[in-house]
Amino acid sequence: MSFLRRLFGGGQRDNDGAIHLYVRCGRCGAMVHVRVDPRNDLLPEYGDSDDLSGYRLVKEIMDSRCFRLMRAEIAYDARRRELSRMLEGGAFITRDEYEKGREAQRERP
C-alpha cells in the first residue's frame, strides 16, 4: 500500500492501509476522527470507454456533540492519488489540530 504512504507524506503512524479523516463540525466545533477502509469505501468510477477513471469516497460523519451529519466527498485518480476533497457541514483539519484540540478538551473539567 505504498500509494497511501505517498498520499499522506509518511506522516501517518498507522500502517493499516486505512484512510484517516479529521474534521470539525461547522455548527458546534466538535472534532471527529474517522477511519475509512479503502477496500470497502472507495467506489470505482468508469469513464466513457468503460475504463477505470478513478475512485470516489463518500462518507457521512456525525459528531458526538450536536449530532449533525456531515458529508465528506473525496475524489481519487485511477492510481488512488487524491485529486480533491470537500466536506458539507464542516471543515477538514489536520491530525495535529485534532490531537491538540483533544488535549485542550481534556484540560477542561
46 and 59 in contact (C-beta within 8 Å)? no
Q: Look at strands 42-46 and 52-62 and give their pairing.
A: antiparallel
**Residue nearest Zn ion, Cβ-based:** 25
Stretch that binds Zn ion, among 28-36, 42-50, 53-61, 93-101 (CB under 5 A): 28-36
User: Which span (18-26, 39-47, 48-56, 81-89) binds Zn ion, by CB under 5 A?
Assistant: 18-26
Closest residue by Cα to residue 74 from 39, 46, 43: 43
Per-residue x/- marks for Zn ion, 42-81, CB under 5 A? ---------------------x-xx-x-------------
Nearer residue to Zn ion within complex by CB, 4 or 23: 23
β-partners of residue 69 are 62
User: What is the distance between the alpha carbons of residues 39 and 12, in angstroms, rounded to a whole number?
Assistant: 18
- Note the residues at the interface with Zn ion (CB under 5 A): 25, 27-28, 30, 63, 65-66, 68
